[in-house]
Structure 1
Amino acid sequence: MISARQLEVLSTVIEVGTTARAAELLAVSQPAVSNMIRHTEDLVGFPLFMREHGRLTPTKEALHIAQEAQHLFMQQSRIDNIIDELRGGTIGRLSIIATPSVGHGVLPRVLGKFIKTRPKLQLSIELGSQDEIIRKLGSGRADLGLSITPPRHSAISVREIANGRLMCVCPKEHELALQDVVAVPSLNHVSHISYAARTPLGQMIDALFLERGLERRYFCEVRHTATALEMVRNGLGVALVDSFAVIGSHEEDFAIRPTKPSLPLKLYGLTSSMFPTTNITMQFQQFLADDLKSHDAVAGGEAAAG
């Protein structure tokens, strides 16, 4: 079987007409080119060149082989380009499954920046619970999971992406909007939109109330942060939401206030321990972490003030 290198030598000799010139272009010795041609002829079983007056004239068979080889060279060039793009993270596929607060909030904004220099990147975005994230990652159907609560599962690798905290959101005209910092227990005295006790955020808030000998009261129970935000936006009450969900929100939508005491949390990147993490996945995790650094600093400053 003729190798790709033999085809390259054959095509180059046909193009320039002499083994000496071909050797210069290929950065090898002239005897090496001549030996390669003779070895290729032995392999195929027929002459590839007619030797006339020191010049090599390709046979019809050689021209036919060289013509077909051009398709191989073009495909090889395309593969090399794809490898370069994959190495640079400008092409490929990235499949992400995120919890709703992250998927509705920070994820679209950061992806908008990420794909500006990666126009050929194909995306798959899905929202799901933590159990759904584990199933998708464990089966190889997702490359990256994003959540504010880390799963305890041996098949999942967890990386801290960014620091955040719970924030109080309320209608602009609400009495709590007049405060620079909202005391969490004071939510018992207003129309509080909150999470079920069995949810991670509900458990975090309940623990704070229990420390003060109080029972958390709320008039509306929601499962997703996006639902709580829409209810606040429509003037139905106030809610505690993770800071990642309100990044990029404007004061005309609702008022956003830090809490006292501070309720810190983190954003986690989740990958499967059973499948290799792709280069583009690692690049996006780092891109997301870098993008959120400024927001980490803001949250830290607010926490100190609270």
Structure 2
Amino acid sequence: MNIRQLEAFHTTIETGSVTLAGERLGISQPAVSKLLRSLTEACGFQLFTRSGGRLVPTLEARMLAVEVERMFSGAKRIARLAEAVRNREWGEVTIAAPPALATLYLSNALSPFLAEQPDIHFTLQSKTSPRIGELVAAGQIDIGLSVLPFDHPNVSAEVIMRFSMVCILPAGHPLTGKQVIEIDDLRNEAFISLFRDDCSLMTIDRAFQLKGVQKRNRIEVPLSETACSFVANGVGVSIVPPFVGLDYPEDRLVRRTLLPETFMDVWLLTPNGRPLSLASQKLVDFIRAAVAPFDQRDDMHRSLQ
């Protein structure tokens, strides 16, 4: 008993005709008949009888056909899986990103990609940047997005975005009359600040210190999106990445350019020494496109020329 015999048997059962089976398989009718005869000998019982010129499977053949159908269905699933892997439509991908990216922006940005790739199992973790580097180095995640570089022999690091922080104000705040907010404008404003271990807070505090301005922290929150909520409710002002708070309308939250510009980088961290899966590679390409609207590296390059 071999696969070619079973293929002839399966196709004959499906088509109900040796001639049609031969056409589907691309072989002659006598060749199909020969395969069926050899399978009958291997089984030791009759597979088909003739009735009114038609080929009718015996009870034993119908029992055998159930198992053969399962075998060919499994082969088809394997073929579909191989095609999906080849087309990067299947796999498991785990990403870790800082809360500012993971809380809302990445879920919105990556949803179209994931909707078109239903066979990809996707996990998104919210971690601090130092922890993200450690997870990539240990091979526990496939892709890391970090606002800090990570120097490790097991990690490949590449800047994929440089963004400038923006100032957010409640609608109706006196400073909304200005198109550009300077650090000095925030001298006496109630400030919604992130926790002290947040990497962006260090960048913001440094900007205030360089201008000699004392930041008046009123509320500390764990997430930039939480800061946006407080600002939208009129409790204070804040400074956040440009991809945060995008779902708030201007009648609740106003975004303004901040001077001096306060830049931060986003690093793409991947395991060094083992290739990314096809699904991970495709997702990396999509992430590059998702962050491109906020990438100011080209603008900085042009301003220096």
- How high is the TM-score relative to the length of structure 1? 0.74
Match of 2:217 in 1: 219
Q: Give the paired residue count.
A: 297
- Structure 1 residues 236, 58: CA separation in 2 closer, same or farther (over 3 Å shift)? closer
1:89–1:280: 8 Å Cα contact kept in structure 2? Answer: yes
2:120–2:279: 8 Å Cα contact kept in structure 1? Answer: no
Matches within 5 A, 1:290-305: 290-296=289-295, 300=299
Q: Which moved more, 1:76-85 or 1:32-41?
A: 32-41
SS of the equivalent of 1:252 reads: coil
- Structure 1 residues 153, 239: CA separation in 2 closer, same or farther (over 3 Å shift)? farther
- Structure 1 residues 90, 252: CA separation in 2 closer, same or farther (over 3 Å shift)? farther
Match of 1:285 in 2: 284
2:165–2:262: 8 Å Cα contact kept in structure 1? Answer: yes
Q: CA deviation at 1:276?
A: 4.5
Which amino acid in structure 2 is aligned with residue 147 of structure 1?
A: S
For structure 2, list consecutive stretches of 5 or more residues without a partner in the other structure: none
Match of 2:266 in 1: 267
Deviations 1:141-183 (Å, cap 9, x if unpaired)? 5433333334333333334444421011122233322211111
SS of the equivalent of 1:237 reads: coil
Match of 2:147 in 1: 148
- Structure 1 residues 119, 198: CA separation in 2 closer, same or farther (over 3 Å shift)? closer
Q: CA deviation at 1:63?
A: 5.7
2:147–2:199: 8 Å Cα contact kept in structure 1? Answer: no
Which amino acid in structure 2 is aligned with residue 245 of structure 1?
A: V
Q: 1:252 & 1:111 partners in 2: Cα distance?
A: 27
- Structure 1 residues 154, 196: CA separation in 2 closer, same or farther (over 3 Å shift)? farther
Q: Which moved more, 1:260-269 or 1:81-90?
A: 81-90
Q: 2:165 & 2:48 partners in 1: Cα distance?
A: 81
Match of 1:201 in 2: 200
Match of 1:104 in 2: 103
For structure 1, list consecutive stretches of 5 or more residues without a partner in the other structure: none
Deviations 1:58-108 (Å, cap 9, x if unpaired)? 887666544421111112223333443444455554433321111223112
Q: 2:48 & 2:125 partners in 1: Cα distance?
A: 64
Which amino acid in structure 2 is aligned with residue 167 of structure 1?
A: V
Q: 1:295 & 1:13 partners in 2: Cα distance?
A: 60
Match of 2:163 in 1: 164
Matches within 5 A, 1:58-69: 64-69=63-68
2:47–2:60: 8 Å Cα contact kept in structure 1? Answer: no
- Structure 1 residues 28, 269: CA separation in 2 closer, same or farther (over 3 Å shift)? farther
- How high is the TM-score relative to the length of structure 2? 0.74
Deviations 1:124-147 (Å, cap 9, x if unpaired)? 333222244345445555433333
Match of 2:244 in 1: 245
Q: Which moved more, 1:254-263 or 1:112-121?
A: 112-121
Deviations 1:30-73 (Å, cap 9, x if unpaired)? 7876776677678x485777999xx9998876665444211111
Q: Percent identity?
A: 26
Match of 1:133 in 2: 132
